[in-house]
Every structure is written in C-alpha cells, then in structure tokens.
Amino acid sequence: MRLQATYLEFMPLILILDDDQEFLDILKSYLQNHGFEVVTASYTADIFILIQEHQPRLIILDFLINGLNGGEICSVIKKNPQTVAIPVILMSAFDKLIYSLGNYGYDVFLSKPFDLTTILIHVKNLTHHDEL
C-alpha cells in the first residue's frame, strides 16, 4: 500500500477544465495511462477551489466553457502570485482565435481537434515529467 502512495506522490497532477464531458473522459484516461494524476471539472466556478485543493502542476483550459471566456480565467490565474507559476494550456475549436487572444498569459495554445500525442508532448514538457 505504501508503494502505491509513494508512486502517486510523484505523479504530476493536471487539472482539466472543459464543458465537453466526453472530451474530458478521453483526455483524462489518456493522461492517466501516461503517468499523470488528473482532476477534471466542467464548471468554471469550481476552478479556483480545485486549484487551491489540488495544487496542480498544469492546467488545461478550454477557451469557451459554458459561455465564459477561458482566456480571462487564464489571465486571473497568471496574475495571482499563488498561481502564476502554474503552466496553462489554452485550447479552442475556434483556431482563428489565436490571432485575437490578446495577452492572457497561457503557455501553449492548441486548436481542437488535436492529436493526443501532441498534447502529451506539451504536458510532459510543461510538467518536466518523464514516465516512471
């Protein structure tokens, strides 16, 4: 039992926020299979509570979630001294948004749909994680 707890301590935790439950399930399963602990949420009201509770190593955030601007959420994350160092992957199905995103402070932007291998490369780079 202790071995499992020790292993979990080294698994980088990723917080994913998206209102598409099927997408959340697929991405969560994929990242867990590659050595990450994953927490998901589909409501923006949960994100700051989840950040405080779980202290994620990385946040993956949809640009448009339940009609709210994920870029603005990213901006709040990046302006808060307690969360500024957490890398954020911002993603959107509206790839033309990349030209009008402004300075939200995200670390990586991905256009949906994207290959799961692509996001895995970014996740590993941003968390400095190699599989155990």
Work out the pLDDT band at 130, boundaries 50, 70, 90. Answer: low
Q: Which residue has the higher pLDDT, 108 or 43?
A: 108
pLDDT tens-digit profile of 3-32?
Answer: 454 445 568 999 999 999 999 999 999 999
Q: Is the entire prediction scored with pTM above 0.75?
A: yes
Q: Are 71 and 92 in contact (CB under 8 A)?
A: no
Domain boundaries, the chain: 12-108
Can you tell me the distance from the alpha carbon of 56 to that of 83, in angstroms, rounded to the nearest whole number?
A: 9
Can you tell me the distance from the alpha carbon of 132 to that of 8, in angstroms, rounded to the nearest whole number?
A: 11
How many CB atoms are located within 10 Å of the residue 77 CB?
Answer: 22
The answer to whether residue 57 scores a pLDDT higher than 80 is yes
CATH topology of domain 12-108: Rossmann fold (3.40.50)
The answer to whether residue 132 scores a pLDDT higher than 50 is no
Can you tell me the distance from the alpha carbon of 78 to that of 111, in angstroms, rounded to the nearest whole number?
A: 21
